[in-house]
Chain A
Amino acid sequence: MKRVLIIGATSAIAEATARRLAEGQAALYLVGRDAQRLTAIAADLRIRGALQCDCEAQDLTDFTAHEAMLDRAVAALGHLDIVLIAHGTLDDQAACEASVERTLQALATNGLSVVALCTRLAPRLAAQSSGTLAVISSVAGERGRASNYVYGSAKALVSTYLSGLRQRLCHSGVQVLTIKPGFVDTPMTAGFAKGALWASREQVAAGILRAIEKRADVAYLPGFWRPILWIIRAIPERVFKRLTL
């Protein structure tokens, strides 16, 4: 039985992942913002096979509440085999440009809260000498683009932080997995026109579990984003700044 803590459990990717884990009879602890939806998701996961599924509603930008939340999760699960951090918002880039407050809010939600959680989780996992810390970052964090660099820079913070943490925990037996999805068809992206590059949440969920199984470090999901991002990173800034992406 896998014991799994999911933070941001109402996100579409997290829920699709949780369903697969539930079908494998995992024990789950769900954390998210919306209590009503969390309760509904927990009931669904229990029916789908989760041996245990508790949940609690949390505003994750309240960093001071993290420690107690983690205590409750560990008390409920007993041990952490997998921690999946999946929360995030895709705020409107133009609105962020017009407001310092909104920019900082977006950075706090997508970047700082993840760093705060990982900082608290690292010693717990290291003490276990086992487990997986899987965090959903994004291909948007690889390079700043005019269309969403606030979101992108928060994800860049997360990716770089995890890269350092991975080195630190390299010999501890803990897997640190950076998940970099491309475009995923979820409620967060409901307003976008969908093309051939878009993946389904189920596809991404399957990829996450595969990456955990393989003890991978960085997973681009779907995998075709890895060469695409390799090219995008190689474009000189002098050229890149003129592109409309």
Chain B
Amino acid sequence: MVSSWGTVSRGMHRLYDLSSRFAPFPSLPEQMCILPFGNGRSYGDSCLNVGGALLRTRNLDHFIHFDAQSGTLRCEAGVLLSDILRLVTPMRWFPPVLPGTQYVTVGGAIANDVHGKNHHQAGTFGCHVRRLELLRSSGERIECGPDERREWFAATVGGLGLTGLITWAEMRLRRVPGPWLDVESIRCADVDELLEVSLESAADFEYTVAWVDCAAGRRRLGRGLLQRANHAQLDATGSAAHVTPALHLPFTPPFSLVNPATLRLFNSVHYRRHPRRIRSLVHYEKFFFPLDRIDRWNRLYGPRGFYQYQCVVPAHRAGGVVRELLRIIASSGEGSFLAVLKCFADRPSPGLLSFPLPGVTLALDFPNRGTRSAQLFARLDAIVAEAGGRLYPAKDARMPGAMFRSGYPLQETFTRFTDARCSSSFWRRIRESA
């Protein structure tokens, strides 16, 4: 039994481990399909292959080459971003893009073409990958990159593991003065102010992200806290070396601790306690991965698990559409503490199925409430699709096939590169549903 991070999607799998990057693709029973599996941090069913097999990459955790002069790192696909951070930050290098958790593998970061708080300047993770090796079920090994066999690279970046197994990748790191960030946090009274401050911060701040109080309605709709930050020009390498999780949820509570009552209370307090503007020096782990401090926080949502809904809306319609989405969510009383808004800029993503578009992305967790959740998502889908937006496969466990096809017009080109023996629960759902 393997479950993904949202715990809504789960099921039985046959498990294979690749013993090393030199090992051949496992030979599978007739008719069985397989999916590369990293650290299982995708929220929905894009990292699962229920009834089929998973090819685990946990033995592919070796660094291959690191040039401390140029900041070029080549490593196997199962290396975690946390391992890279631990290795390179003392040498004043840093991954160019970091998602909201450091416990993802390099292979997973590429296969989902993840983005971070610096998307408006750095683009996606795939923008910094120079080269990778793809192992196909036929045994063929394809080395590709932005300058070589580009079509394979474009299919594999954001390709959800469906083009074969990434065995290793080479990426360019960036220089940083140290592990600290100079963070400014600004309280914004509504969504318009939030978007405005976010956009005007884009040029001078490498990282911007906003927390939204999704329970606040009417005049306070979309109020929140905007965080903007740069790497601090501070020499001290600091003592806070690799903070371990502060809290651990050892078991799943019998019901969701996130519900409309706790949500309103928490959000309101969190918003009001915050001063109008505050500036502080924050260690990178606290800034980038606040949730990693609570080990297995996904259990907060109880045995039924949760969905994450992450959409992006093109820039020219973003303001109005985001307001409409927030209005529907606020009036539903659903949603969670973890509502995040971020402006993407126009740096193109390298993958055929990469998620980001120039515009605004909104990500919210929702406790799983069965049909009530489904109805809410359907209303949100209609607005996102009408605006020309799309949903993020790495977070998705429920979008209809049509929503995927309209959001990702390049998916037809993509299918020419999929591996005949690779499939996923997500992929079958998308292909088979209306």
The answer, yes or no, to whether B22 is at the interface (CB within 8 Å) is: yes
Complex-state Cα separation, A190 to B21, whole angstroms:
17
Query: Which of chain A's residues 105-132 have a Cβ closer than 8 Å to chain B?
Result: none
In the complex, the answer to whether A190 meets B62 with C-beta atoms within 8 Å is: no
Inter-chain contact B87/A187, CB cutoff 8 Å: no
- Contact segment of A1-9, A37-45, A172-180: A37-45
- Interface members, chain A 21-46 (any B CB < 8 Å): 36-37, 40-41, 43-44
Task: Give the nearest-CB partner of A43 in chain B.
Answer: B64
Q: Is B408 an interface residue (CB 8 A)?
A: no
* Interface members, chain B 86-109 (any A CB < 8 Å): 87
Q: Is the interface of A mostly helix, strand, loop or mixed?
A: helix
Knowing A37-B22, A187-B19, the reply to whether A44 touches B59 (Cβ < 8 A) is: no
Contact, CB under 8 Å: A40 / B59: no
Bound CA–CA A48/B20 (angstroms): 18
Docked Cα-Cα span, A41 to B60, in Å, equals 11
| Minimum Cβ distance to chain B for residue A179 (Å) | 22
Q: In the complex, are the beta carbons of B17 and A44 less than 8 A apart?
A: no
| B6-20, CB < 8 A from A | 17, 19-20
Is B255 located at the chain interface by the 8 A CB criterion? no
Q: How far is the CA of A201 from the CA of B59 in the complex (A)?
A: 11
Question: Would you call A47 an interface residue if the criterion is a C-beta within 8 Å of the partner chain's C-beta atoms?
Answer: yes
A204 to chain B, nearest CB (A): 16
Min C-beta distance of A15 to chain B, whole Å: 9
Do A40 and B64 touch (CB < 8 A)? yes
Whether the Cβ atoms of B63 and A47 lie closer than 8 Å is yes
Report whether B17 and A41 are in contact in the complex, using a CB–CB cutoff of 8 Å.
Answer: no
Interface residues on B, range: 10 to 19
Task: Pick from B17, B22, B64: contact of A187, CB below 8 A.
Answer: B17
* Residues of chain B with a CB closer than 8 A to A36's CB: 20, 22
Complex formed: what's the CA distance from A12 to B19 in Å?
10
A163-193 residues with Cβ-Cβ distance < 8 A to B are 187, 190
Bitwise, B30-57 to A at CB < 8 A (1) or not (0) is 0000000000000000000000000000
Query: Given A48-B87, A187-B17, A190-B17, A43 and B62 touching (CB < 8 A)?
Result: yes
- Chain B nearest CB: distance from A198 CB in Å? 14
Is A41 a contact of B62 with CB atoms below 8 Å?
yes
Please, how many angstroms separate the alpha-carbon atoms of A187 and B21 in the complex? 14
**Residue of A with least CB distance to B15:** A190
Q: B63-81: which residues lie under 8 A (CB-CB) from chain A? A: 63-66
Min distance, Cβ A234 to any Cβ of chain B, angstroms: 33
Tell me the complex Cα distance, A191–B79, Å: 23
Beyond A40-B64, A41-B62, A187-B59, whether A47 also contacts B20 by CB under 8 A is no
- Pick the contact of B20: A37, A43, A190 (CB < 8 A): A37
A37 CA to B59 CA, complexed, in Å: 12
Cβ-defined contact, B65 with A40, below 8 A: no
Distance of A189 from chain B, by nearest CB (Å): 11
Q: Are A40 and B21 touching (Cβ within 8 A)?
A: yes
Q: Which residues of B contact A43 (CB under 8 A)?
A: 62-65
Q: Taking CB as reference atom, which chain B residue is nearest A185?
A: B58
Q: What residue of chain A has the Cβ atom nearest to residue B61's Cβ?
A: A44
In the bound assembly, the distance between CA atoms of A44 and B84 in angstroms comes to 12
**Smallest distance from the beta carbon of A188 to chain B beta carbons, Å?**
10
Q: Smallest CB–CB gap between A118 and chain B, Å?
A: 28
Q: Which residue of A lies closest to B20 (CB)?
A: A37
B57 to chain A, nearest CB (A): 13
Q: Which residue of the partner chain B has the closest CB to A44?
A: B62
> Please, which residues of chain A bring their CB within 8 A of the CB of B17?
187, 190
- The residue that B65 contacts in the complex, of A37, A47, A48, with Cβ under 8 A, is A47
Please tell me if the beta carbons of A40 and B66 are within 8 angstroms of each other in the complex.
Answer: no
Chain A residues with Cβ below 8 Å from B66 are 47
Interface string of A118-154 (1 = CB under 8 A from B): 0000000000000000000000000000000000000
**Which residue on B lies nearest to A36, using beta carbons?**
B22
Taking CB atoms, residues of chain B closer than 8 Å to A41 are: 62
A47–B87 touching, CB < 8 Å:
yes
Q: Which A residue sits closest to B16, measured CB to CB?
A: A190
Complexed CA–CA distance, A49 and B318 (Å): 48
| Closest chain A CB from B16 CB (angstroms) | 9
A44 contacts across to B, CB distance below 8 A = 62-64
B22: chain A residues at CB < 8 Å are 36-37, 40
Given contacts A47-B63, A47-B65, A187-B59, contact A40 B87 (CB under 8 A): no
CB-CB contacts below 8 Å: A201-231 with B? none
Find chain A residues with CB under 8 A from B63 CB. Answer: 43-44, 47-48
Q: Which A residues touch B20, using CB under 8 A?
A: 36-37, 40
Expressed in whole angstroms, the Cα–Cα distance for A36 and B21 within the complex equals: 10
Distance A36 CA – B23 CA, assembled complex (angstroms): 10
> Considering the chains assembled together, what is the distance between the CA atoms of A12 and B60 in angstroms?
12
Q: How far is the CB of A45 from chain B (nearest CB, A)?
A: 9
16 A-B pairs (CB sep. < 8 Å): A12-B59, A36-B20, A37-B20, A37-B22, A40-B20, A40-B21, A40-B22, A40-B64, A41-B62, A43-B62, A44-B62, A47-B87, A48-B63, A187-B17, A187-B19, A187-B59
Seen from chain B, the residues whose Cβ lies within 8 Å of a Cβ on chain A are 17, 19-22, 59, 62-66, 87
Closest 8 CB pairs of A and B: A44-B62, A47-B63, A47-B66, A44-B63, A37-B20, A36-B22, A187-B19, A190-B17
Given A36-B20, A43-B62, A47-B87, 10 further pairs, Cβ under 8 A: A36-B22, A37-B22, A40-B22, A40-B64, A44-B64, A47-B65, A47-B66, A48-B63, A187-B17, A187-B59
